[in-house]
Chains A and B, each alone.
Chain A
Amino acid sequence: MTVKTKRRLLLTVFFILPIVTAVCAIGWGRYSISVREIAACFFPGAFPGVEVTNNMVNIVFNIRVPRILLAILAGAGLSVSGAAFQGLFANPLATPDTLGVAAGASFGAVLGILLGLPSVGIQLMALIWGSVAVVIVFSVSRVKGISSLIMLILAGMVVGALFSALVSLVKYVADPQDVLPSITYWLLGTMSGVNMTRLALGTPLMIAGTILIFLLRWRLNALSLQEDEARSLGINVRLTRVLVIVAATAVTAAVISMCGLIGWVGLLIPHLSRMIFGSDNKYVIPSCIGLGALFMLIVDSIARSVMAAEIPVSILTSVIGAPFFIILLRRTGGVSS
């Protein structure tokens, strides 16, 4: 079997696994539903022997399906935008938040919570302020009309710190009885309580951004070279960079607006993909979509089913992700052979 067929086969597996896991995840939880019952919920009448209760239909369509879709979108989105930023900045430590989008989106959301906005309003605030942060980073980093990568990263750090301070300010003035807990809970990242409206607001942006990065995936390889080197390969470096930043920002802001802050995925999954496929983004990007979705699905299923009270998902991504990452790094030395 050639390397190419092997890689294609692996990618196919990485796309099938999340789908299988998603079907199983519909059944998992405090209220367990069998695969036959799930099938009967989706195709009423097709399985005459299986009894379907209203309660069951309600759980499947109003609680578990939206939540599972959200886990898939969030995992795939954060992984892809992490990989895109790592290629763009030629830095394996870049994360989706390198340009301050998460800090900006958090500020928007907590401000929305403080103002008592409805959940759609909170989500819109997150989207808007996430984008505002990146626009500020872009304009701050332009010196004599040129944004160098190092200026972008520094501006991202500064703007990120500024918005984190503003988040702290909002927390400080928030009512500690009821507003502060919901701010804290939002900042921890959670997938519970998601509904189709919330999904409908974030999904198009997330999918559009992911498609753009997917199309640009081979270009990311050249983008991670020195700027002059990339230009001498005939690449429009500035335009490509702007496209990648816009796409990754759209994806990250959309995901954060739907489920709050979830760290670590954007670092873990791209590295895992690189250990499997090497550095070629032609494979790393699709692998991030599949593995990111799978990882988030599994983590979220654990978050909602191991304890009576739900564990915030960002805590679990770190608790599961960090040791997993350490094992991988020690085994492979960080690169695919």
Chain B
Amino acid sequence: MTFEVNNAWFGYQQGKNVLSDISFSAKSGEIMSILGSNGAGKTTLLKCMLGLLKWQRGETRLDGIKITEYKHRDLWSKIGYVPQARLSAFTYTVFEMVLLGRSAHLGMFEQPNANDRKIAAEALDRVGILQLKDKPCSKISGGELQMVLIARALATRPRMLILDEPESNLDFRNQVTVLETIRNLKTESGIGSIVNTHYPDHALTLSDTALVMLRDGTSVFGPASEVINEKNLAKAFGIDVKIFEYRDERHRHTCVMPVY
């Protein structure tokens, strides 16, 4: 599966572009990061590329076909969207929440059946929180809630996940849990991800490709290790940035440090 955005533009007001001439392509089985500062338009970009907002110019294509030509349900059974974690007005249990991920496969008047419940339980098991299934979503931690939303997206049985700042409000340990889950989904199940983040280290460690959003609305796309460099980061965040490397037996770690 390929997911591409071609020469796309968007602005909330006439003459003021939030996103200018964005182009990138992501493949299933790959992780792509969208890296940018607060207010750079990352969430706007996610909404536009998923068709929740309309591009003013340009297009999004999924497997070569414009996403506007897909039937709503077909599109959303191929892509799993993980929004930023927030609580809803009514407290559903973890299992009820994950079961909602089956919506795209069910008709307007259908109820989830035993098979749907099985798939939801598998999705919970996949991210390692099956033991939470009967807890109300209001009684679990922020990290756990994020995993619930990932499980809900997985219950759709998507070929690609799109995550909006999945690790932004979490502590070290929970950040690692979320990032490792995303990586495991790629290596073990071949499910690619497009991840919005404002942590350059996460983008570098996790992703194959990256789109760095600069503050003037333009962007740079390429292999993560090439485009996430000190020069682009300085442009994206407006401060001086140094990148350090640290190797252990297994991995190459990078540390991105703002200099001030």
Closest residue to B73 on the A side, CB-wise? Answer: A234
Tell whether B104 is near chain A: CB-to-CB under 8 Å.
yes
The answer for the CA separation of A240 and B72 in the assembled complex, in Å, is 13
Q: Does B76 contact A (CB under 8 A)?
A: yes
Q: Are A229 and B83 in touch, CB under 8 angstroms? A: yes
Interchain CA distance A269-B172 in the complex, whole Å: 44
Provide the bound-state CA to CA distance between A90 and B92, in Å. 12
B90 adjacent to A87 (CB under 8 Å): yes
Contact A280 B100 (CB under 8 A): no
What A residues does B83 contact at CB under 8 A? Answer: 226, 228-229, 232
A120 to chain B, nearest CB (A): 34
Given known A234-B104, A234-B156, contact A224–B52 (CB-CB < 8 A): no
A232 and B76 contacting across the interface, CB-CB below 8 Å: yes
Q: Assuming the A-B contacts A279-B90, A279-B91, A279-B96, are A236 and B109 also in contact, with contact meaning beta carbons closer than 8 angstroms in the complex?
A: no
> A90–B88 contact, CB under 8 A?
yes
* B108 near A221: Cβ-Cβ < 8 Å: no
CA distance A306 to B173 in the complex (A): 65
Interface members, chain B 146-169 (any A CB < 8 Å): 152, 156
Q: How many residues of A contact B (CB 8 A)?
A: 33
CA distance A239 to B152 in the complex (A): 23
Q: Is A233 an interface residue (CB 8 A)?
A: yes
Tally of A-B Cβ pairs under 8 angstroms: 88
A224 to B137, CA, bound (A): 14
- Cα distance, A136 to B104, chains bound together (Å): 32
Q: For chain B, give the interface size range.
A: 20 to 34
- Cβ-closest chain A residue relative to B109: A215
Least Cβ–Cβ distance between B154 and chain A, in angstroms: 13
Chain A residues in 8 Å Cβ range of B96: 221, 278-280
Chain B contacts of A3 at CB under 8 A? 134
State the CA gap A282–B116 with chains docked (Å). 15
Interface status of A69 (Cβ within 8 A of chain B):
no
Residue of A nearest to B117 (CB): A4
> Which A1-53 residues have C-beta < 8 A from chain B?
3
Complex formed: what's the CA distance from A87 to B100 in Å? 14
Write the A277-316 contact mask toward B (1 if CB under 8 angstroms, else 0). Answer: 0111010000000000000000000000000000000000
A-B contact pairs, 23 of them (CB 8 A): A3-B134, A87-B90, A90-B90, A91-B89, A218-B106, A219-B108, A221-B100, A225-B88, A226-B83, A226-B88, A228-B47, A231-B72, A232-B81, A232-B83, A233-B152, A233-B156, A236-B72, A236-B108, A239-B108, A240-B108, A243-B108, A280-B96, A282-B111
Please name 16 further chain A to chain B contacts, defined as beta carbons within 8 Å, in addition to the given A218-B111, A234-B104, sorted by A numbering.
Answer: A3-B134, A222-B100, A224-B89, A226-B88, A228-B52, A231-B52, A232-B81, A232-B83, A233-B100, A234-B72, A234-B76, A235-B103, A240-B108, A279-B91, A279-B92, A280-B96
